[in-house]
Structure 1
């Protein structure tokens, strides 16, 4: 049964939560592959774009190439692999308008609770609309909310930070008019955000120090290569972007496999890569000698080597050590006489993991503890009917995984319609012993500290997490969707 297409109705076949890149991708796939389904996009904020509208810190950009991070049905056509946040937001906005899904977005609609009714065979969604509760109903819910908390950052224990008399800023909540011209800045952290901030702040600040507790791998990547330069000149556009997209995916996949298969060789190669770009005489150790193997955490990307360029120009440096105490005017380090004297401290210490944007989930009025649930084929939630999550990859572009998930959802919806199923619930077979695995396969601090707030993967089919785009896409389009999945036809 499909709900009527009434613009004033609050009842839909599908409710998509979030108007970021995952939610817009799911909506476009819905229009393309399941066009007879009505849907709404519930967006808590007042703008499209998700991450790419939320973060406003200097230099905010992707840490994946846009040829694979972009939508396959709406190719990224600019001649640069890594793009800044505002450009990505424009791209997402343009795609949403081109496919007409922007008309389905309801802004300032924050999902608070979702309750599945077996009797009614639908979800009842309690939504905060500018401070007022309203209720929506849908047969299916797609959570395109990402995996981190938009409203609070990962708490970091920095001894004495409250004593500092200068400005303390977290990148997630960057002040609109922060004046850092000719200021001394310390960026605490060594992840992608810190690596992005350092060269961009260094253009204006007096000096920028990246204070890291542990080093990370920083890889310089060119914004253009020979294929992105020549292919558009020689080939039809649809061929061009498919070939470029395939090249970027394949190269990243092969390098990932190399790093995981030959970690010692990969470490040596990355150490040499850093040494060749550092200023003459700049020590590689300890600043560029991580304790973990490549791809145990994501590699940090430096477009055209801007990170290393800032070091060569003397506008920035790196200090490795643990903070002993922050005073009113400085930062003392453990086991060192070094004292840093910043005007501004930036705490780039990571994201706080959060599932479904913090919404509470119920089945027949019984609360569901998502941290105790497994994810079926990386898409649907154990014991929860008619609900999917859009999870991307940690070892490749996020959107690749989210797109495979979206195409799985459209296929499932089409099957449910053709066979008159009203409910699909994944359940772990009672005779199956599953070993729990984290849904995000990284050892980054924010992931390890937040894994208790996320659903889990398993160590066997169909509970394995997504990990390889061609296989996951094949599974989405043609794979078995009956194993451990319970379909029912109930009268509504």
Structure 2
């Protein structure tokens, strides 16, 4: 049965060629916002269990540690992007540094640093049914040492994109350009744009964050976009949050009130995108028009061809991007790139854009589970050939869960729902005496078509569309679907029947010499049920 550790992490002694390894109940991969939240949930719900967080980078923070470009900030409000258990007390839209400080406070308050293994890049994860455990192989990036960790349950919280490689199209003549070319994911500490002409290729959230920051010192910044994006201006601090602070409402109450406010606002916006799509389109375009100079060609530069919310709407706090355009510090060009030359970019229209620095804010490269190689009982499992179970687990991978957030809502809202599911599943394993659980297609699913992981009619950002062939699949029926809205899943995920036929449980007899992690707690072994 799924064991509950009564002590800290155990170490096995090496014998012969068997490497020493740490043994834990739960191994969390990734020390970003999701991984830290997962660890806190385990401490709260399963204090008897041992766990580790492994992280490839030299510090925790995930995106907020790796993205160091000027102006890096949240694209979601921090009352829903922050944790439900840790009140956010700053501005509604926060900088990367402020978010890192917030995460550092959580790490300190819950004493998580001792449970982290930083600079550990995981390459392999192998499941043994005989031992009912995973063996994970990682390399220490500081020493080159190979590390082995055994875990009863594997919980992926590494995010969804490749931190080491951003997406850059293959432009003709790029090697001829004499200036600097940088990707926001790899911003050089010594890059000086003072007085220079900077071209930012792209018009998403990254570009919207970068451009106002760059215009503080650059001579001029041009946003070069292939097609427009929807933007929405919002106060850096919500007026309701200001009112609550003036009334001296306790921080926890302020956080909960604002959280509910933003959820209600987002639900209304999503409903409008479905029921009154053209009205929403007009609303967003006219919002941009009001903040741009008179006579500005809004239809060309700020009227997207796709439906509102089919791609993520970029937040512009206090309208700062529009302000840089009004003031002449930034401009927008909508065209495609024909080729680069020595001094800049030649567009398909024939226009030439001079540049000293080109920033390729051209998107992300999706990475499925960090590129880890998985095997089950000696057979390699390619997750891209498997099917999602409700966006929580993957077929044929036992004792495995992953966190993937929302497209139209704050990531953390779903991360906390996933944490609730995993903790309930761990309790269920204890109560039933099962050692493992794995989703498997049922007999009635034999004729089910396996569809690409994302429906382009629902969402079609470039990074998602580019990754269709490399990601896991979905079905056309429950429970093999995902990418639902928070307003539905906050009810449906806690109500999942853990005894449904799609979940297959394994019970084992301990073989002689099999590793024992710890004894089962009395309370767990005495209980039974499906919750």
Measured against the shorter chain, the TM-score band is over 0.9
Secondary structure, in 3 states, of the residue corresponding to 1:478?
A: coil
Q: Distance in 2 between matches of 1:304 and 1:228?
A: 15
Contact 1:279–1:312 under 8 Å retained in 2: yes
1:333: which partner in 2?
347
Contact 1:260–1:295 under 8 Å retained in 2: no
Contact 1:466–1:472 under 8 Å retained in 2: no
- Alignment counterpart, residue 172 of structure 1, candidates 151, 165, 185: 185
> Does residue 1:297 correspond to 2:311, yes or no?
yes
2:104: which partner in 1?
93
Report the alpha carbon displacement of residue 468 of structure 1 after superposing the two structures with TM. Answer: 2.6
- Alignment counterpart, residue 486 of structure 1, candidates 493, 504, 510: 504
1:438: which partner in 2?
453
Q: Distance in 1 between matches of 2:483 and 2:465?
A: 19
Q: Distance in 2 between matches of 1:318 and 1:403?
A: 39
1:38-53 matches, cutoff 5 A: 38-53=50-65
- Alignment counterpart, residue 104 of structure 1, candidates 115, 119, 138: 115
Contact 1:439–1:455 under 8 Å retained in 2: no
Contact 2:9–2:24 under 8 Å retained in 1: no
Report the alpha carbon displacement of residue 45 of structure 1 after superposing the two structures with TM. Answer: 0.8
1:62: which partner in 2?
74
Q: Distance in 2 between matches of 1:190 and 1:454?
A: 25
Q: Distance in 2 between matches of 1:174 and 1:456?
A: 34
**Which segments of 5 or more consecutive residues in structure 1 lack a partner in the other structure?**
none
Contact 1:213–1:322 under 8 Å retained in 2: yes
Cα deviation per residue 1:335-375 (whole Å; 9 max; x = unaligned)?
23x21101001111100000111111111121111112111
1:267: which partner in 2?
281
1:348-387 matches, cutoff 5 A: 348-387=361-400
Between 1:470-479 and 1:323-332, the stretch displaced more is 470-479
Report the alpha carbon displacement of residue 237 of structure 1 after superposing the two structures with TM. Answer: 3.0
- Alignment counterpart, residue 156 of structure 2, candidates 143, 159, 167: 143
Between 1:237-246 and 1:476-485, the stretch displaced more is 476-485
Report the alpha carbon displacement of residue 271 of structure 1 after superposing the two structures with TM. Answer: 1.2
Q: Distance in 2 between matches of 1:453 and 1:248?
A: 34
Aligned length: 490
- Alignment counterpart, residue 145 of structure 2, candidates 91, 116, 132: 132
Report the alpha carbon displacement of residue 477 of structure 1 after superposing the two structures with TM. Answer: 2.9
The two structures have a TM-score, normalised by structure 2, of 0.90
Secondary structure, in 3 states, of the residue corresponding to 1:95?
A: helix
Cα deviation per residue 1:437-490 (whole Å; 9 max; x = unaligned)?
425852111110012222123332112214232432333433212220011211
Cα deviation per residue 1:65-90 (whole Å; 9 max; x = unaligned)?
00000000112111x11101111111
Report the alpha carbon displacement of residue 160 of structure 1 after superposing the two structures with TM. Answer: 1.3
- Alignment counterpart, residue 479 of structure 2, candidates 462, 470, 473: 462
Secondary structure, in 3 states, of the residue corresponding to 2:444?
A: coil
1:26: which partner in 2?
38
2:514: which partner in 1?
none
1:238-253 matches, cutoff 5 A: 238-253=252-267
Between 1:111-120 and 1:450-459, the stretch displaced more is 450-459
- Alignment counterpart, residue 120 of structure 1, candidates 131, 135, 145: 131
Between 1:138-147 and 1:433-442, the stretch displaced more is 433-442
Q: Distance in 1 between matches of 2:508 and 2:384?
A: 29
Two-structure CA RMSD over aligned residues (Å): 1.5
1:273-288 matches, cutoff 5 A: 273-288=287-302
2:529: which partner in 1?
none
Between 1:276-285 and 1:18-27, the stretch displaced more is 276-285
2:195: which partner in 1?
182
Q: Distance in 2 between matches of 1:430 and 1:383?
A: 15
- Alignment counterpart, residue 421 of structure 1, candidates 431, 434, 438: 434
Cα deviation per residue 1:222-251 (whole Å; 9 max; x = unaligned)?
122331112232533332211110001110
Moved over 4 A (4+): none
> Does residue 1:198 correspond to 2:211, yes or no?
yes
Contact 1:219–1:299 under 8 Å retained in 2: yes
Secondary structure, in 3 states, of the residue corresponding to 1:200?
A: helix
2:359: which partner in 1?
346
Contact 1:404–1:469 under 8 Å retained in 2: no
**Which segments of 5 or more consecutive residues in structure 2 lack a partner in the other structure?**
12-21, 511-531
Report the alpha carbon displacement of residue 276 of structure 1 after superposing the two structures with TM. Answer: 0.5
Q: Distance in 1 between matches of 2:238 and 2:97?
A: 23
Contact 2:9–2:23 under 8 Å retained in 1: no
